[in-house]
Amino acid sequence: MIKTSSVLPRSIIFLVDMICIVFALWWAIMVRFNFDNDLINLHIAFRTITLVSLIFGLVFLSIKTYAGIVRYTSSKDAFRIAIAVIASCLILALIGKMAIPTVSNLYLQFSILILLSTFSFVFLMTYRVGVKYLFSHLRNVRMIKKNVIIYGAAEAGMVTKRVLDKDGNNYVNVVAFIDDNVKKHNRVLDGITIYPFSQLPLLVSENVIDEIVIASFSIPAFRKNELVDFSLNNNVKVLTVPVFKNWNEGSFSSKQLRTINIEELLEREAIIINNIQIRNQIKGKRILVTGAAGSIGSEIVRQLLCHNPELIVLCDCAETPLHHLLLELEEGKTNTNCLPFLASVTSEPRMKELFEEYKPQIVYHAAAYKHVPMMELFPTEAVKNNSIGTRVVADLSVSYNVERFVMVSTDKAVNPTNVMGASKRLAEIYVQGLAKSATHSTRFITTRFGNVLGSNGSVINLFKEQIERGGPVTVTHPNITRYFMTIPEACQLVMEAGAMGNGGEIFVFDMGQSVRILDLAKKMIRLYGFIPNIDIQIHYTGLRPGEKLYEELLNDGENTSHTYHEKILIAKVRDVSLDSVISSFNQLELILAGDDEMLLVSKMKELVPEFLSKNSEYEKLDHAKVIAIN
């Protein structure tokens, strides 16, 4: 905020402008008469100055050339001054053409007016720019100097430079632009040279670079990672510009520059989705999303809205998150009718009521308990919610002639080492069994992927909280790795797989490269500006019950086939019989009624032979099975 006392009064600016006009006219007359004072009639000259001052003064008052703050003179001010000067000279030219005795002998010849317009604009702009740079110099003397490199030599980069030039808190010196466009290399943008990325190490070694600002909305994921890794290794801070929708009138403030977050570094190249096929299947349909208030379910809802379904039923048992989702959708003013339905998928009467009232045509089943250590403590709840809950919704989908049932599964269902993963594998098996049945027309499709960034309970969120508290950051094991995918990316693939599925498939998503959690923790600490194990300690807590070092997307007896989408594969799994699956689930429900957790987990291991517990009390069941076989 600029204080009024620090700004020159408009009357002073107007007076200085008029003095510039007088000097401009005098120089125009002098040039016209070759600086020969004997040829100049002072009486006529003073009369001309009076008329010119009057005309320019009236035009300046009407156009308000004096209204701008001189120290912030911009191209808009220059344009306004140019218009005022041209308008004034045109008026004077018209007056000079009039056969009026009082003006016929004034110095209003065309040559003088051309010189007047040129000198006027130069003088008016020169003193403004001079004042601007004087204030800038005085301000910069008192400020801390920062050397900055901008990645991106396009419009966003140009805007970023201007924002940094106006930074009221720091003296920012933009050293260079970096851009991957070969055609721009060694060219100059606003006085700053554009260099290729390969020159970055040299630029940093020759200049003390404090910050690198990413001013590109199309920077490839690999380049962003390279840029951040290089910056962190050289103690250079990395910032990024806000998304374009947060700009105000084509610009933003320096306060909106933010640090890179870890989610951005784990992103991959944008996925191309067949939106036409998805839209054709969803438009005008009644859709049920279970677990709608969760991180995956809510994003599925948001993406469904883009395809104009008739109705979305938001089913969840968590009251507060469901309420928040409904408020968000109401603020978005969507044309789709979104109705909340507070219920657990384990309650068959409530779910039957839902299907009877809304008769959904497509079901996205995202409701699940997912925290491995918690489900290891409460296996009964894992089976009730993840396995039996899936059975309830799947059976009702058949009864009410649902067109498509899309189940969201997890990579923890592959060679499960914990109760949660095994309960999801059981759900997959039940859906597979129904898909094989010829007694209904519902298409059952399963999607399987790994961890999603930013989801509830994500390790990313845990690390953020720990770093902001000052540490320590807790990692279970130095060699533990995980696959990661962004929530929007995962949901896009869920919808794409749901659209392409013919029924019975388990779609596996290309999760890219697995990430070492220790490296993730170290990078997050450094992004916060701290040094791992010096400013923020890293403690190893040991693997939790049911946790394994490496996640898998396919078990040992499986392989995959390709689809038309390079990111989506079909897992070839062993066939299951619906009759045997139904019998197995009936047995599970009988055991659940008896509340014997050890017996329940033992039955799970029988139904999912590849289920071998790790770091869990249920490992003794595996030992007993081995002894029995021997």
* 145-183 tens-digit pLDDT: 788 899 988 888 888 888 887 766 667 788 899 999 888
Bigger pLDDT: 332 or 207? Answer: 207
506 has pLDDT over 60: yes
For strands 506-509 and 443-449, give the pairing: parallel
According to the model, what pLDDT value does residue 399 have? 95
pLDDT at 318: 93
What average pLDDT is seen over the chain? 83
- The predicted pLDDT at position 408 comes to 93
Range among 299-308, 387-396, 456-465 with highest mean pLDDT value: 387-396
From CA 567, how far away is CA 564, in angstroms rounded?
9
Question: Per mean pLDDT, which of 59-63, 406-410, 575-579 is the most reliable?
Answer: 406-410
Provide the pLDDT for residue 557.
Answer: 44
End-to-end Cα distance, the chain:
82
279, burial (CB in 10 Å: exposed 0-12, middle 13-18, buried 19+): middle
Residue 337: is it exposed, middle or buried by C-beta count within 10 angstroms (0-12/13-18/19+)? exposed
Domain ranges (residues) in the chain: 4-139, 143-260, 275-607
CATH topology of domain 275-607: Rossmann fold (3.40.50)
- Length reported for the chain: 630
What pLDDT, on the 0 to 100 scale, is given for residue 2?
38
**Separation CA 382–CA 390 (nearest Å):** 11
Rounded average pLDDT over 433-443: 89
Residue among 384, 447, 445 nearest 420 (CA): 384
- In the predicted structure, residue 3 carries a pLDDT above the cut 90: no
- How far, in Å, CA of 502 to CA of 432, rounded? 12
Q: Sorting pLDDT into bands at 50, 70 and 90, what band is 630?
A: very low
Examine the pLDDT at 238 and tell me if it is beyond 80.
yes
Residue 193 backbone phi and psi in degrees, to 5: -75, 145
Query: What was the pLDDT predicted at 269?
Result: 62
Write down the pLDDT at residue 381: 95
How does DSSP assign 1-41, residue by residue? ---GGGS--HHHHHHHHHHHHHHHHHHHHHHHTTT-GGG--
Could you give the CA distance from residue 309 to residue 498 in angstroms, rounded to a whole number?
15
Q: What pLDDT is stored for residue 169 in this prediction?
A: 65
* Cα 293 to Cα 88, 318, 323, 521, distances in angstroms: 66, 7, 8, 28
**Mean pLDDT of all residues in 6-27:** 80
Residue of 140 and 541 predicted with greater confidence: 541
In this predicted structure, the answer to whether residue 7 has a pLDDT above a threshold of 60 is no
Q: Which residue has the higher pLDDT, 18 or 600?
A: 600
Q: What is the pLDDT of residue 377?
A: 93
Higher pLDDT, 340 or 232: 340
Residue 389: pLDDT above 90? yes
Quote the pLDDT of residue 549.
78
What per-residue confidence (pLDDT) applies to 330?
87
Give the integer Cα–Cα distance in Å for 443 and 406.
Answer: 8
Query: Strands, E, within 92-196: which ranges?
Result: 145-151, 171-178, 188-189, 192-195
CATH architecture observed for domain 143-260:
3-Layer(aba) Sandwich (3.40)
Q: Cα separation of 568 and 91, whole Å?
A: 72
Q: What local confidence, expressed as pLDDT, does residue 497 receive? A: 83
d(CA 288, CA 301) in angstroms, rounded, equals 9
pLDDT at 316 over 90: yes
Show Cβ contacts of residue 439 under 8 Å, excluding neighbours closer than 6 positions.
398
- Per-residue exposure over 225-235, b if at least 16 CB sit within 10 Å of its own CB, e if not: bebbebbbeee
Find the mean pLDDT for residues 300-308.
91
* Residue 249: predicted pLDDT: 65
The yes-or-no verdict on residue 598 having pLDDT over 50 is: yes
